[in-house]
Structure formats: C-alpha cells, structure tokens
C-alpha cells in the first residue's frame, strides 16, 4: 500500500518550464510524472554515489591481500552462528 502523497511547490522561470513541458510531452508523460521520474533518477544516482567506498591504491592492495588470505575460524562467531541456526 503506497504512502500518503505530499505536494511539492517550486518556482521555475518560464524558459525552463517550457523546456520541461516539451520534454515531458516528447516522452509521453504529464509534467508531474516527468519531473518526479527525473528527480528520482537523480536522487538514486546521488545516493548510490554517496554509498560507494573509495579506496586509495594502498588501501585497495591491503583489502586484496586480506581477501586472498586463508580463512580462519573465529570460535565466538562460529558459536553465534550455530546458535542462530538452532533458533530458526
């Protein structure tokens, strides 16, 4: 069930409004759908970019070395996982 809808008001100059109207029409959408779609696309891209972890060359090398090392058992973690499986 979708949440309640909220209105967004914004000011825009006539030239930009005309461009958005034209783009929405060319895309077969009403202005609301076009603007919301464009805003959501941009918002997703910004959020994704903000979540990306960037590593320096030396950090990337350290991470790669850690991933290449032989796995080792951590007794406390193994116990926690066994207990969690027992309760599911």
Q: What is the pTM of this model?
A: 0.59
Other beta carbons within 10 Å of 10: 5
> pLDDT (tens digit, 9 = 90+) per residue, 32-85?
999 999 999 999 999 999 998 889 999 999 999 999 999 999 999 999 999 998
Q: 83 is written with which tokens?
A: 């207990």
Q: From CA 46, how far away is CA 65, in angstroms rounded?
A: 30
């Amino acid at each position: 069930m979708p949440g309640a809808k909220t209105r967004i008001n914004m000011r825009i100059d006539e030239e930009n409004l005309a461009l958005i109207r034209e783009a929405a029409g060319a895309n077969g959408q009403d202005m609301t759908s076009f603007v919301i779609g464009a805003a959501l696309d941009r918002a997703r891209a910004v959020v994704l970019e903000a979540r990306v972890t960037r590593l320096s060359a030396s950090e990337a090398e350290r991470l790669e070395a850690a991933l290449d090392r032989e796995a080792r058992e951590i007794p406390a973690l193994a116990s926690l996982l066994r207990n969690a499986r027992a309760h599911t």
